[in-house]
Each structure stands twice: as C-alpha cells, then as structure tokens.
Amino acid sequence: MERNKEIRFHRSKRHIISSLITGFAVPYLLLICASLSIYFSNSDEFIFHIADFMPAFLLLSLIMFVVISAVLLITKGWLHNTIFALCAGGIVCTYIQTLVTTLTFKGLPGDGTALPASPVQMVINLIIWIVVLALVLWLGAFFSKAESIRKALCFLIILISVMQTVSLIPSAINYSDKDNSQDNTYYLSTENLLELSSADNIIVFVLDCFDRDFYLDLVNNYPEATDSLDGFTYYDDNIATFPRTFPATPSMISGINTDFSLSRKEYFAQAYGASPLLNDLQKNNYKVNLYTPSFHGYENADVFTDKVANLCLSEGSRVTSESGFIKRMLLLSSYFWLPDFMKSETISANSFNEVVTLEGDIPKYSVDNNTDAGIYQQLLCTGLSVQDDKNTFTFLHIRGCHSPYAMDENCNVVESGSVTPLEQTRGAFRIVSEYLNQLKKLGIYEDATIIITGDHADLKFDSSDYTEPMLTALLVKNKGEQGTPLRTSTAQVSQANLHASIVKSAQLQTDYSYGRAYDEIGEDEDVTRIHYFQLHTGSKRKDENLTYEITGAGTDFSNWEVISREEIGYTYK
C-alpha cells in the first residue's frame, strides 16, 4: 500500500511540474521572447520604449500562464495528455515557423517590401503545421509509449525556451550598448508643410513607388489627371538609382549614393553633411523643408541641423492609443511564428506612427495610410500660403503608388487592399493637381521649378536578378515654363540628372559641377546609366549589391547588364 501511494505521489509531482512548465513556456515564447526579439533587433526603427508594451505583455503572459497551468492541473487522463500534447506541438510548430520565417524574411508586407505568401505556399505551410501537430498529438497522447514521449516533449519545451533565451542575449547586449534615450532626438516635422515663397520655389514631389507602368496606366484610364501639368515634360525612359525607399530617398536629397560599408546612421551623417545641393540652397537664400519618413530617410534628424527649416526637437514619445498600440505590437511579434495564412498583410513599422507620436511642439512627418488623404484635406481646408523672407525648397515624399493600397481615387482612406494601384495613383495625382492649381492662383507657378517623380520603380521581387526593366516615372517643369501642353521625351535620363536639373532650372549660383540636366540629354543620344539593386539572398548577413549598367534605351531589357556583384551584409544595417 505504501509503495502504491509513493508511486501515485511521484506521478502527481510530474503532473504538476509538466503543467507549470507548459503554462510558463507558451506565453514566454510567444509573447515575451517574440516581442523582445523584434524590439531589440529593430529599436532604431521604433520611437517607443520597452516600457510602453512590456507591462501589458507581462499581464497577458500571466493570464495565459494561470489559465493554461490551471487547465492542465485539473485535467487528467486522455484529456490532460491531449491538451499537453497540443501545447507542446504548438511550441514545436511555432519554433520551426520562426526559424523558417527568419531565414526567408524579406520585409513586412505592410511596408510594401515583400509580398505575402502565395496561396500554394500557404497551403503547403498549413499542411506542415497539421502534420507536425497531429504527429505530436498521437505520440504524446495515444502512442503506446506516450508516457516516455511526454517526458521527451517536456524536455524539448525546456530546451526550446533555453535556446530562445540564449538567442536574445546578443541583440539585448547590442541594444543596451546604444543610447536609447530620446534626449536631443530631432525629427522632421510637418511645419511649413503648405508654405511656399512669394519669390522662387523648387518643389520635388516624390510619389513612393511611382513606376512608369503606373503612370501610363493612369493616363490611359484617366487622361484628365494630367490637365494641370502646364509646361511639363514627361520623361519616358528614366531610371532611379536604387530600387527601395532606402537608400533611394537620402540619395535623392543629398546627391550622395550609399556606401554599403557604412551603417545607415554613418551614411546619413556623411551624405547630408557633405551634400552639395543642401549647401548651395543655403548659399542661395533658400528655406529648405524636407518631408520624408524616418528610418528610410534619417535616424536622428540632427544631421540636418542648420540646413533644414522643419526640424523639431523631441521631448520623448507618447502612445496615443493604448489598445491600438498593443494590437499592433501583438501583430508584429506574432508575424514570425504564425502560420503563413494567418500573418497580417498590413502590419508595418510605419503603422505605429498612427498610435505613437514623438512629443514636440509640432507633429512628426510620417508616411502611412493616412498621410496622402490628410495632405489633400489640408490643401482643401487651409490651402497653400506664402512667405516673403526667403526662396523655398520643398521635398514632399508621400505614399503615392506604394502598397498597401488604402486610398481611393478621391483621396478617401479605405480598407487596405480594397482599391487598385491605379485608383490610388489617381488619388495621388489629385493631390498634385490641387497643389499645382493653387500655385497658379497664387501667381507663383511660372517661376517655380517642379519635379514629380518616384523614389523607385515597382520592385515586384527582390530575391533574384531582374527579369524586366525597372523604370520610374518622371515629370519636370522648369522655371519660366507655363501654358504649353504636356510633352513627352524619350531622352535616356536618370536620377543622376536630378540635382543638375534643379540647379540649372532655378539658376542657383554654385562652384560645384553637378553634371548634365534632364533637358541637356539628346533625344537620340545613347547614354550609359547605372542602377544599384540590393538583392536579398535569404540571410541578413549576405545581401548583395548588384550594379546594373544600362546602355541605350532602358525600356529594352537586353540593354541591362550586371557588371558587378558585391556582398554587403544586411542592407538596412
């Protein structure tokens, strides 16, 4: 009798220990480890702190621990074994999924840097989940040696928890070595967003992902969309230097291309500090206003000190919607371990801008699903204004043609994915048209230099070499031009001609040689142009920079040739 009691006691002890271990591991791995891994690795991209989300995650973890442990403790027999096996199988599946997603990660679909998994991929992924779960369930609950299997599964749960903890240590150390305070953090604000000069103006509209095909689709379906483009020339063969917002945008602003041996922070400091255009705009009495998002365009905007007017000093960050913030953090942290068919297609780093803001005198400028519609409403309600003190340079980067498509042709915010690229492009052009029409009413249109382009073309994939031309739409109105119909040029131009065109059109005084302007390239001239493509190889440490040389018409893909490949590590380091 005493021996039987002893056996029952030891079995009860194992029951308690395995229940508590499982109850702890599920929330620890899926909430705590997942969120910390994301945050430590991407802290430069976020304006919030661990303290903003961790209390809620700890509370949710505690609730999950109590519920799961209690259920496992009060159940017994086949029911207990089944629940335990399902929890263990879930941990195994999410661990495998995390490894696979991390190895194949190309960006978040909501950022537009990667497409969601195809239906075939989703089905295969789901089948793997079902097979693994079914196998663990059978072995842990119904197999003849299930007791031994449950011991092994309990050990596996502990092992996975330890491995996930150890994997956090390098990124945690790296994070702790950074200056994570927000003291002396500057950002580009919305100040002067609709303010121009009564004298000379240079305006660069950057419609994100403004692909040539998007423009041609627009004019074929909405020919009236270009009615406001008096004096403009459309360049049908324009090549952007880079295929993504970083490093495209900072190179457009500074005129200095990325050195991939540098970190983004080092590059930003070097490029903006030495930018010939920013220096010449100052010398020519221009007030410079830059409206472009952080991370892709800058980290700490102190790199623009004394050069940019819409600079603002942060006083910390503030969560404006607790529920919205926690929801987004849950979606982001679960992205890596959820099966493909359940991954959010809209979550992005920029989506946090809707629920977290930097505290300062003026709101931070960001590019999200609401940006374009918000600018359009401001144009309608308050309109453009002018100041008489200085000339004005405005670099206005909007979402434009970039996914996720969340603005209709009338500039209304809609559910992501409910409109087509064409409809959103039409909406973006409605903003541009309203802006141009107001310039005309103010009498400052003719003397303005206006460029409408994209930071890059539509990058459909990034894990293999190009299979088709990558052309970016470009429209240019030089100073003094108005009242002439829109003309088309087939000159072979590129982003390398951007600053030269600005300097020539605005008649800036300079000692720097900027090269040739767009209108200095002959219509029948064959030009050799360069495009750099950062190919994602499946590992953050092994991205490659492919240098394409395009000789002759960019519309003919036979003229595109890879002349060099360079391993650069992680593009966004």
pLDDT at 442: 97
Whether the per-residue pLDDT at 179 is higher than 80: the answer is no
Distance CA 309, CA 289 (A): 6
Distance CA 394, CA 193 (A): 8
Averaged pLDDT for residues 426-430: 97
Averaged pLDDT for residues 339-349: 80
> Are the beta carbons of 28 and 58 closer than 8 angstroms?
no
Whether the per-residue pLDDT at 10 is higher than 50: the answer is no
What tokens appear for 558 in the block?
């036979």
| Band of pLDDT at residue 308, cut at 50, 70 and 90 | very high
> Are the beta carbons of 38 and 333 closer than 8 angstroms?
yes
Q: Where are the domains of the chain?
A: 2-177, 186-315+360-525
pLDDT at 550: 98
Lowest-pLDDT range, 46-60, 165-179, 435-449?
165-179
Whether the per-residue pLDDT at 428 is higher than 60: the answer is yes
Beta bridge partner(s), residue 443: none
pLDDT at 390: 96
Amino acid at 308: V
Residues 6+ apart with CB under 8 A from 166: none
> Are the beta carbons of 209 and 398 closer than 8 angstroms?
no
Averaged pLDDT for residues 423-439: 97
Residue-wise burial string across 550-565, b where 16 or more C-beta atoms lie within 10 A, e elsewhere: bebbbeeeebbeeeee
Q: Which helix (H) or strand (E) holds 567?
A: strand 560-569
pLDDT in tens, 96-108: 999 888 877 766 6
Q: 329: closest CA among 42, 566, 538?
A: 42
Q: Which helix (H) or strand (E) holds 324?
A: helix 322-334
Whether the per-residue pLDDT at 1 is higher than 50: the answer is no
Please enumerate, as own/partner, the contacts of 406-412 that have beta carbons within 8 Å and a separation of 24 or more. 406/369, 407/369, 407/372, 407/373, 409/222, 411/372, 411/373, 411/376, 411/377, 412/373
| Band of pLDDT at residue 538, cut at 50, 70 and 90 | low
* CATH T-level fold of 186-315+360-525: Alkaline Phosphatase, subunit A (3.40.720)
Residue 272, classed as helix, strand or coil, is helix
| Band of pLDDT at residue 115, cut at 50, 70 and 90 | low
pLDDT in tens, 490-506: 999 999 999 999 999 99
Nearest 10 degrees: CA dihedral of 18, 22, 28, 33? Answer: 100
> Are the beta carbons of 369 and 416 closer than 8 angstroms?
yes
> Are the beta carbons of 195 and 387 closer than 8 angstroms?
yes
Distance CA 429, CA 411 (A): 10
Lowest-pLDDT range, 83-87, 191-195, 366-370, 384-388?
366-370
Angle at the Cα of 52 from the Cα atoms of 49 and 54, rounded to 5 degrees: 100
| Band of pLDDT at residue 341, cut at 50, 70 and 90 | confident
Averaged pLDDT for residues 535-546: 77
Distance from the Cα of residue 75 to its chain's centroid: 46
Whether the per-residue pLDDT at 354 is higher than 80: the answer is no
Beta bridge partner(s), residue 397: 206
Amino acid at 336: F
For 111, what's the count of Cα atoms within 13 Å in the CB-facing half-sphere?
18
Q: Which helix (H) or strand (E) holds 88?
A: helix 77-103
Q: Is 94 exposed, middle or buried (0-12, 13-18, 19+ CB in 10 A)?
A: buried
Q: What is the mean pLDDT of the chain?
A: 90
| Band of pLDDT at residue 571, cut at 50, 70 and 90 | confident
> Are the beta carbons of 462 and 248 closer than 8 angstroms?
no
Considering only CA atoms, give the Rg of the chain.
28
pTM: 0.79
Residue identified by tokens 């599920």 is: 26
pLDDT at 102: 82
Averaged pLDDT for residues 443-461: 95
pLDDT in tens, 400-419: 999 889 999 999 999 988 99
| Band of pLDDT at residue 140, cut at 50, 70 and 90 | confident
Whether the per-residue pLDDT at 11 is higher than 70: the answer is no
Give the pairing type, strands 233-235 and 286-291.
unpaired
pLDDT at 2: 45
Whether the per-residue pLDDT at 178 is higher than 70: the answer is no
